[in-house]
Structure 1
Amino acid sequence: MTTTLIATPDEPEDTGESRAARRRTSGEGTLYQRTDGRWEGAAYVPTAGGQTRRIRVYGKTRREAADKLTKKVNEHRQKLPFPARDSALGDS
């Protein structure tokens, strides 16, 4: 008699949140796990020049990345525009 083993996918890491609680509403950005294991959050925010810019934040855990992303998006909601480009020392 031959037995066949069926492989089951690895269980995702339990973050203490239900699947429905992981959904983000429109305008909150997106969160995903990178291939290197870190979590990345990204969102579009307006710049001082009236255009939009995609910002990215990283964290070791999903919650850490979500907290950082929420902070950046809230700065946008408080009408603190992001610079159109990264500034360097010595720029006038």
Structure 2
Amino acid sequence: RGEEVAGYCNGSLTWETHYLKPDYFLALFYDDTKEKTPDPYTKRGLKDCQAWIFKYDRRHSRLSFQARNVEIGNKAFARLAHHLATE
């Protein structure tokens, strides 16, 4: 858990998906000219990044939005992501 499971790079924009706990995923977008190796599990690692946590609802086959770093802050987001990755 907590490891990158998919990624994509288009020029300098990079996207990563991390598997957290069952049915929870973290999406991370960043400009790799500003941030080379972001760590979504630390406040400092989220600087210059956009990150979201989604939950997959198997019953209805859809994703629901759980948290976004720019809404709850990097520290709270990193704490939540770490908790979901290690729970």
User: What's the TM-score, normalizing by structure 2?
Assistant: 0.30
The structure that is strand-richer by fraction is: 2
Who wins on radius of gyration, i.e. which is larger? 1
Say which structure, 1 or 2, has more relative contact order (CA 8 Å, 6+ apart).
Answer: 2
User: What's the TM-score, normalizing by structure 1?
Assistant: 0.29
